[in-house]
Every structure is written in structure tokens, then in C-alpha cells.
Structure 1
Amino acid sequence: MKDQHSTHLIQLAIATLFISASGALGKFIDMPTPVVVWWRSILGAIFLLGFCVYKKFNLKIDSRQDALAIFSSGLLMGGHWLFYFYALKLSNVAIGMLSLFVFPIFTAFLEPLFIKVKFDPIYILLGIMVLIGMYILAPEFSLENTHFQGILFGLLSALCYAVRNIISKKLTNNYNATSIMLYQTSILTVILFPVLFFMDTSNIVSQYPYILLLALVVTALGHTLLVNSLKHFSVSTASIINSVQPIFGIIIAFIFLNEIPTANTYLGGSLILLTVVIESVRSRNK
């Protein structure tokens, strides 16, 4: 049992590493955010469809209720990606990623409303720790400050991400994780298709290697592994463990974008990420 738990934690860590690259890629890719998200969605959907066909997964949706849940999760994933990339553009990779990672706290409070999971009071303490970390992280509470704007977009992204993960967990009871990601990316591809007619897409020629990395490594592989991990952990536990992403993301941004975090980023980020260690130990002992 402990060995299986370790295996699932390793798989979740790999998903985390892959998804962590989204920060540097989102900041670096030089195209309008909705266009980037559309390319990410359609290429991710193509990769996922090929894998589903190869594995002969059943892609039939069983009921209208499931179809509505899948559609809602696709829209929420779109909101998560759009708000997140705007957060990265307005601030930097460190602030964008750390503000997004309030989502475990949103998850902990929302999960009992959607799924028959007992609320654990420890999440109140973890939530307070994260909020203090966010307070330290914010340079100033002014809407004119682009870094503060980035934090607000990061929080909106976190809310969308939390609810999407909760819905996805319910779907994993009846559907394969890869097929769920295929549904979500396909929905987003259709919804965002009109942006190609009024936004500049000419840079795709020079940006396609980075778009391919974003679509294949981050989206198709990373998010599928993340959704699959929801079979083995509660959404709250998986979310908080997944919060190690900013560490990887900040390191990647330092190496490739030469972004150096401030002292407040280190302090606030450390407090936020301390929740990862606490929840990892707790989940190990369950």
C-alpha cells in the first residue's frame, strides 16, 4: 500500500514538473494570449486524440449530465489558462505562478460542496498560511500596479482551476483521464476559434517550437497525469502537493528568462509552499 502511494506521488511529481514549464513558456511566447491558448488547445487535442485512438479508449459520453459537466470543465480550464497567461504577462513567472497556487485553498473549501468529502479543519490553518504568503508577495495593493493586477488574474485562474479539478475528479469515476483532457481541449478549441479572425497569428511561424512544447509536454502529458492522479488522492491533497510547481517554474524562469525573484517573493512563496510539505506528510500517513 505504501509502495503504491509512493508510485502515485512520483507520477504526480512528474506531472508537476511538466506543468511547471507553462510559466516560462507563457511569459516567453510572443503572441496574443487567446491565440496561444487556442494553439495549445488544438495541438493538445490532436496529440490526445491520437493517444486515445492508439489505446482504443471508449470516447462515448454516457449521459447529458456528464456532457454538461465535461462542457463546464472545458470552459473552466479555458478560464484558468487565459487568466494565468495574463497574470504572467502583467507580472513575472514567480508572482504569476505563486498567485495561481492559492487554488488548493479554494479547492479545500469548495470540494465538500461538490463531492462527499468531509471538510478537514487543518485546511483553515493552511489557508491562513497561504493568505499571509499572498500578502507578503503583493508589492502594493493598487490596481494601477501591474504586479498586483497579475496577482488578481492569478487568483481568478486559481478559482477556475480549483472548480475544474473538482469536476474532473467526479468524471474520473466513469471516464479515462486522457479522454477527459481530450474533451476539455476540444471544447476550448471550438470556443476560442473566432479569435483567429481578429487577433494577430502571424508569429506562429517563429513560435511553433514553444507552442509544441506547451501543447505536448505541458498539456497532453502533464495535465493528463494530473487528472489521473485524482483517482488516488483527494482533490485537496493532490492540489496542495501539486503546489511545488512554482519552485520548478521559478528555476526554469531563472535559467531561460533570467528572472530573479525579490526577497518578498522568496518569503511569501516559502510560506505558501510550506503547505506542500505539511500536506505531503499528512497524505503519506493516511
Structure 2
Amino acid sequence: MKNINTTGLLETHAAVLLFGLAGLFGKYLDLPAWTIVLGRTGFATAALGMVMVVAGPGKMPRDAKTILLFALLGALLAVHWIFFFLAIQVSTVAVGLLAFSTFPVFITCIEPWWFKEKRRAFDGITALLVMVGVCIMVYPSPFGGQIFSGVAWGILSGFTFAILSLLNRKWVREHPPVVIAFYQNGFAFLLLMPMLAGFHGHLGAGQWAMLAFLGVVCTALSHALFIRGLTFIRAQLASVIACLEPVYGIVFAYLLLDETPSPPTLAGGTVILITTIAAMSRRTTV
């Protein structure tokens, strides 16, 4: 039997916990979604750059093709996070996170074809159960309006994250995780910079501090941990673990924002949690 590397599981779980905390900044920061992402990626790039200076850059991309590929990853990252914060801003932290958690379905469909791997029925069942959990949480809400918009933006966020995860898996073995995270955040920041020309708002000291925390802790650290985790485990397993993000996020939202989850939310979250634990247990023995 083949055991999953414990380091990869722990690092992926730590990253997902920080991902869940990051969702709250969509409510804390009264700013356009793209502005939050711009600040997030800017601080993350600076933090990752300092790490590379201290620890050594490792293998850096040198050819134009690789740099263009990293630019593509950066664009996907920017779009993913804009969709993510839009979902939370137009609805709630729970709705945004839960809609985003549909991304394992996309990975399950794409990964075997992309990497020429065997399709497993259990992966499909896992993805289906995750979808059931999400449906339980959002079904009682009326069609249209804030909930519908939040779900729509969240699903788009999940789709772009699925593509990003698979591309990271493809290239993560060729470059250190910190280099990948640095280039992705750096290109995302550069691509969003021109939009500042149309921004006429004002950021206070508190908003700068929150953006710094979001960028350094909830982005630089969590992003590097998640990418590094992909060196030890398949993207499918990482995606299932990431389904805990709404659970962490809902707990944080309850404690810090006083957002009380409804009974359907708790029921759906339980389905996701049980599915994640079952998937992890099965994969440690397969």
C-alpha cells in the first residue's frame, strides 16, 4: 500500500485554513474586488521576493516561453480572486466559499484527460457529494438576487482555480514553490496595475494593514504551502482537502463577523466535511 506524504497533507490543510480566513476580507474591506486583489498580490509579491532573497531564488524561469506561461498563471490567479471576492461581496462569506468549492468537479473531469491518468469512480462520487453539499446549503434561498449572483461568481472562481491548480501541478516539479508563487502574484499585480488609473478612492491606515495581512499571511504563505503540497499529492486530493475552506471560512465568519450559518448551511457543510475525510482515508490506503 502506498501512503500519502504527511507533509503534503499538513501543508495543504494549513493553506486551506488561511484561504478560508482570506474570504472575510471581502467584507472587511469596502473596496472594489479588483482593488483588493491588486493590494493582495502586491504585498504577496513583496513578501515572496524577500523570502527568495534570504533563502536563495532557486531555479528561475529564463526562457520567454516559461515566462509567458507564468504570465498566464498570473492572469488566471487575478481573475480567480476577483470572481472570489465578488461572490462574497454580493452575497455572504458562506455562499461565496461554498460556490467556489465546486471546483473539484472541474478538476475531476479535466485531470485524468490532461495527465492521461486512470479515471476512478470514487473520484466522481466524491465530486458529486461535494456538489450535493453545496446544493443543500444554497437550495433554500430564492432564485435570483444576491444568492444567485454569489453562486454564479463563486462557480466561475472555482472553475478558474481548477485550471490554475492543474497548471501548477504540471509545472511545480520544475521550479520551487516560492518561485511559482512569486511569479504568479507578480504578474497578477502587474496586469491589474493599469486599472488604478480609474480608481479615485482613498485607503486608510487600517485598510493598508488589512491588505498587508491578506497579502503576506493569507496569500504569500498560504499560496506557497498549497503549491508545495501539490509536489506530494495529486491535484484531485488537494482539491478535496480544499473543500474544507468553506467550513473554516464559515467558522471564522461566525466568530469575527457574527454571520450565523443557517441549518441548511450546517447540513451541507457536514456533507462536505464527511466526504473530505472519507476521500482522504481512502487515498492513504490506495
Measured in 2, the distance between the counterparts of 1:40 and 1:222 equals 12
Measured in 2, the distance between the counterparts of 1:284 and 1:246 equals 23
Query: What TM-score do you get using the length of structure 2 for normalisation?
Result: 0.93
1:48-82 CA-to-partner distances (Å, cap 9, x unmatched) read 01101111113531444433332221111111100
Measured in 2, the distance between the counterparts of 1:160 and 1:243 equals 15
| Aligned amino acid, residue 221 of structure 2 | L
Measured in 1, the distance between the counterparts of 2:70 and 2:260 equals 39
Measured in 1, the distance between the counterparts of 2:123 and 2:58 equals 37
1:72-105 CA-to-partner distances (Å, cap 9, x unmatched) read 2111111110000000001111111111111122
| Aligned amino acid, residue 280 of structure 2 | S
Say whether the 8 Å CA contact 2:15–2:226 is kept in structure 1: yes
State the identity %.
27
1:12-67 CA-to-partner distances (Å, cap 9, x unmatched) read 22212222211112221121111110011111000001101111113531444433
Measured in 2, the distance between the counterparts of 1:42 and 1:134 equals 32
Instruction: Identify the residue that residue 48 of structure 1 maps to in structure 2.
Output: 48
Determine whether 1:162 maps to 2:165.
no
| Aligned amino acid, residue 128 of structure 1 | L
C-alpha displacement of 1:7: 2.9
- Cα RMSD after superposing both structures: 1.9
Instruction: Identify the residue that residue 87 of structure 2 maps to in structure 1.
Output: 87
Instruction: Identify the residue that residue 281 of structure 2 maps to in structure 1.
Output: 281
Say whether the 8 Å CA contact 2:105–2:128 is kept in structure 1: no
Q: Which moved more, 1:148-157 or 1:244-253?
A: 244-253
C-alpha displacement of 1:3: 8.6
C-alpha displacement of 1:140: 4.1
Paired residues for 1:188-267 under 5 Å: 188-267=188-267
| Aligned amino acid, residue 156 of structure 1 | L
Instruction: Identify the residue that residue 186 of structure 1 maps to in structure 2.
Output: 186
Instruction: Identify the residue that residue 142 of structure 1 maps to in structure 2.
Output: 143
Measured in 2, the distance between the counterparts of 1:59 and 1:190 equals 22
Instruction: Identify the residue that residue 174 of structure 2 maps to in structure 1.
Output: 174
Q: Which moved more, 1:51-60 or 1:148-157?
A: 51-60
C-alpha displacement of 1:210: 1.1
Query: What TM-score do you get using the length of structure 1 for normalisation?
Result: 0.93
| Aligned amino acid, residue 8 of structure 1 | G
- For the structure 1 residues 177 and 79, does the alpha-carbon distance in structure 2 shift closer, same or farther, using more than 3 Å as the test? same
- How many residues align? The count is 285
Instruction: Identify the residue that residue 110 of structure 1 maps to in structure 2.
Output: 110
C-alpha displacement of 1:130: 2.2
SS in 2 for 1:122: helix
| Aligned amino acid, residue 142 of structure 1 | F
C-alpha displacement of 1:128: 2.1
1:151-199 CA-to-partner distances (Å, cap 9, x unmatched) read 1100000000010011011111210101001101111111100221212
SS in 1 for 2:261: coil
- For the structure 1 residues 28 and 168, does the alpha-carbon distance in structure 2 shift closer, same or farther, using more than 3 Å as the test? same
Moved over 6 A (4+): 1-4
Say whether the 8 Å CA contact 1:108–1:123 is kept in structure 2: yes
Unaligned 5+ segments in structure 2 are none
Say whether the 8 Å CA contact 1:32–1:200 is kept in structure 2: no
